[in-house]
Amino acid sequence: MSIRGKAYIAGIYEYPKREAADKSLAQLHGMFAKGALEDAGLTYSDVDAYYCAGDAPGLGGISMAEYMGLKLQHIDSTETGGSSYVAHIGHAAAAIAAGKCNVALITLAGKPKSTIKKGGLAMRGFGRGAPEAGFENVWGPSVVNMYGMAAMRHMHQYGTTSEQLAWIKVAASHHAQHNENAQLQNVVTVEDVLNSPMISEPLHRLDCCVITDGGGAMVVVSPEIAKTLDRQCVKVLGHGEAPKHLDGGRVDLTYTGAVWSGEKAFKEAKVKHEDIKYMSIYDSFTITVLETIEDLGFCEKGQGGKYVADGNLISGVGKIPFNTDGGGLCSNHPANRGGMTKVLEAVRQIRHEAHPKVQVADCDIALAHGTGGSIGTRMGSATVILGREDS
Amino acid sequence: MSEKKFKIPVPEINEETQHFWDATAEGKLLIKKCADCNEYHYYPRTICPFCMSDNTEWIQSTGKGTVYTYSVMRRSPVQYCIAYVTLEEGITMMTNLIDIDLDEIKIGMDVQVAFVDTGEGCALPYFTAA
Ligand SMILES: [Zn+2]
């Protein structure tokens, strides 16, 4: 059994704004759903499956089904943090392949930018009642110091440097200058990153992603539905997902769950690394990108620093460009969950609808990867490989 | 920096972890060892995560270990160091390093547990230079 070619992404939508204080959360989900369905040439009444994660208000998608007036025969509220929406594509494709549904809607929305307290860093709130809560919450874990510990260990073990990490932000900024919706549109240099304030060692402010309101949506359909649509549909070739955690105290922060999710996705898609023309890599922090690229097998473990340096991730410069919309590092990280926007830019690349300055020539196969939770503790990793009809 | 400058938090305790936290009040760092597969694990659970045996025992750790990794939070009213420490028994736990020069911390350095009373019937297992 495989989902290769069993489902297509028919419609996408990304909210162009980065602030949404004047909208309700349900309103945003509904607007984005409408946007993606209109892109596909479909309506609410065509939807028979709905997928959402913890950012959706109410009871696991039922509240949103009611809000949008959806009549459903399949529902999935898999919550793996920012990687949820990448996982949802695999789940939707499997459900479609099994005959459970034909048109699956996936939405993401949030407003952290307009609700965050000015000047305060959001502490990572491990839920009360989580088995690890008593052994972690007392130590002042934040989003940044968790990723900081992963970066510190990677540097120690493999000689990775802050300069190499900075190149990831530099590449993202080169792409973001062409995205009129990006939160940060200025090109930055390695020195700019290193000279930005230290947040939690070894991560500087510019090693971190942006905080934005907004979100987006996607519509995944069966091959039969795809054939009836005028819009170019993008084929789902493969998917993999895996949680990674602290393994009973056998802690290793130098790799991510991408070692498992990536291998599964490549195997299902029946493609090789050299077939990938574009990659969207989850970029909550620079270190997230570096470890993920290694774990997906684009270079040897520990060689990520050398791989990302000297502009190798920049479109038109390096081997495989990444995050040509500017990614979470510069453009958008809606609801603190970057998985959705990773897939959206991969779809644009395959449709040849990315900005002309960053469009990859003949982009027939692309990869999108999501990371949720924290690489400093426990995470959900999800990878999808997408292609043109002829791929 | 011999005195702590931030409020000592109180851990969330449940039925399964009460014994661990009771022991901290006596200055003991307890970890779990499986009597069937002989593996230590952390945080402590009733059932061994490596072999599913429920034959797990509380063992007092030596409280000695080395820094696996760390990160000093600089953008905070009180700068502090979060860390993972690998105990002599081989398992790694999250903690804070205290009473230590934040600029002198290194991966691999020897550390030992240093309990600080929460005032709520238990103490937190911080670590400091050995
Ligand atoms: Zn065991």
| C-alpha A246 – ligand 1 centre gap (Å) | 16
The domains of chain A are located at: 8-118+213-235, 133-211+237-387
Cβ of B76 within 8 Å of Cβ of A121? The answer is yes
Cα(A83)–Cα(A341) distance, rounded to whole angstroms? Answer: 10
Query: Residue B6 has what pLDDT?
Result: 67
- Ligand 1 centroid–CA B51 distance in Å is 4
**Mean pLDDT, chain A, integer:** 96
In this structure, which topology does domain A133-211+237-387 adopt according to CATH? Answer: Peroxisomal Thiolase; Chain A, domain 1 (3.40.47)
Q: Which amino acid is at B92?
A: T
Residues of chain A whose beta carbon is less than 8 angstroms from a beta carbon of chain B are 121, 128-129, 131-142, 144-146, 148-153, 156, 197-203, 246-251, 253, 377
Q: What percent of chain A stands above pLDDT 90? A: 95
SS3 A278: strand
Q: What tens digit of pLDDT does each residue of A140-164 get?
A: 999 999 999 999 999 999 999 999 9
At B54 the pLDDT is 97
Among B21, B94, B108, whose Cβ lies nearest the Cβ of A139?
B94
Secondary structure element (H or E) that encloses residue A92, with its range? helix A84-97
Can A8-118+213-235 and A133-211+237-387 be said to share one CATH topology?
Answer: yes
Cα distance between residue A37 and residue A231, in whole Å? 11
C-alpha to C-alpha distance for A168 and A37, rounded to whole angstroms = 33
Q: Is the predicted pLDDT of residue B34 greater than 50, yes or no? A: yes
Above 50 in pLDDT, residue A255? yes
Instruction: Please check whether residue A116 is in contact with residue A122, taking contact to mean a CB–CB distance below 8 angstroms.
Output: yes
CB A52 within 8 A of CB A339: no
Whether the predicted pLDDT of A283 surpasses 70 = yes
Distance B31 CA to ligand 1 centre (A): 13
Question: Which run of H or of E encompasses A214?
Answer: strand A214-221
The dihedral through the CA atoms of A61, A65, A66, A72 has a sign that is negative
Residue A326 tokens, joined: 């500017």
Q: Phi then psi for B58, rounded to 5 degrees? A: -80, 130
Yes or no, beta carbons of A138 and B124 under 8 Å apart? yes
Among candidate residues A23, A43, A58, the one with its CA nearest the CA of residue A105: A43
Q: Name, in order, each residue with C-beta under 8 angstroms of B121's C-beta and a sequence gap of 6 or more.
A: B21, B22, B25
Cα–Cα distance, A265 to A271 (Å, whole number):
9
Inter-chain touch B70–A133, beta carbons under 8 Å? no
DSSP class of A229: -
The letter for the amino acid at A82 is G
Alpha-carbon A218 to chain mean position: 13
pLDDT tens digits for A30-61?
Answer: 999 999 999 999 999 999 999 999 999 999 99
Cβ-Cβ contacts under 8 Å, B75 against chain A: 121, 197-200
Angle between helices A143-158 and A286-295 (to 10 degrees): 50
pLDDT of residue A249 exceeding 80: yes
pTM, rounded to two decimals? 0.96
pLDDT tens by residue, A58-100: 999 999 999 999 999 999 999 999 999 999 999 999 999 999 9
Pairwise CB contact (< 8 Å): B11 & A134: yes
How far apart are the CA of B52 and the centre of ligand 1, in A? 6
Work out the pLDDT band at A115, boundaries 50, 70, 90: confident
- Using a CB-CB distance cutoff of 8 angstroms, which residues of chain B are in contact with residue A134? 11-14, 17, 21, 43
Query: How do A365-373 and A278-281 pair as beta strands?
Result: parallel
Which residue in the block uniquely carries the two structure tokens 């230290």?
A: A198
Are B69 and A253 within 8 A, CB to CB?
yes
pLDDT band at A117 (very low <50, low <70, confident <90, very high): low
CA distance B76 to B78: 5
Q: What is the CATH number of the domain that holds B115?
A: 2.40.50.840
DSSP state letters, A30-41: HHHHHHHHHHHT
Q: Establish, for the pair of chains A and B, how many residue pairs have beta carbons separated by less than 8 Å.
A: 112
Nearest-CA distance B12 → chain A (Å): 4
| Neighbouring C-beta atoms of residue A298, cutoff 10 Å | 23
Residue B95 included in any domain: yes
Chain A residues touching residue B96 (CB < 8 angstroms): 139-140
Chain segment A297-331, per-residue pLDDT in tens? 999 999 999 999 999 999 999 989 999 999 999 99
Select from B49, B73, B91 the Cβ nearest to the Cβ of A145.
B73
Architecture label for domain A8-118+213-235: 3-Layer(aba) Sandwich (3.40)
Using CB atoms, which residue from A133, A137, A251 is nearest to B68?
A251
Residue of chain B whose alpha carbon sits nearest to that of A130: B12
* Tokens standing for residue A272: 């090789």
**H-helix or E-strand spanning residue A348:** helix A339-351
At B5, the pLDDT band (50, 70, 90 cuts) reads low
pLDDT digits (tens, 9 = 90+) for A211-228: 999 999 999 999 999 999
**Distance (Å, rounded) from C-alpha B33 to C-alpha A21?**
51
Q: Which of B10, B29, B32, B69 to mutate to test the interface with A (most CBs of A within 10 A)?
A: B69
Which tokens belong to A22? 């004047």
> Do strands B64-73 and B92-97 pair parallel, antiparallel, or not at all (unpaired)?
unpaired
What band does B7 get if pLDDT is binned at 50, 70 and 90?
Answer: confident
> Residue B40: pLDDT band by 50, 70, 90 thresholds?
very high
The residues pairing with A322 across neighbouring beta strands, listed in sequence order, are: A279
Q: Which domain holds residue B71?
A: 18-129
Q: For residue range B78-104, what is the model confidence (pLDDT) as tens digits?
A: 999 999 999 999 999 999 999 999 999
In whole angstroms, give the CA distance from residue A159 to residue B81.
22
- Pair A238, A12: CB distance under 8 Å: no
Give the number of other Cβ atoms within 10 Å of residue A318's Cβ.
Answer: 17
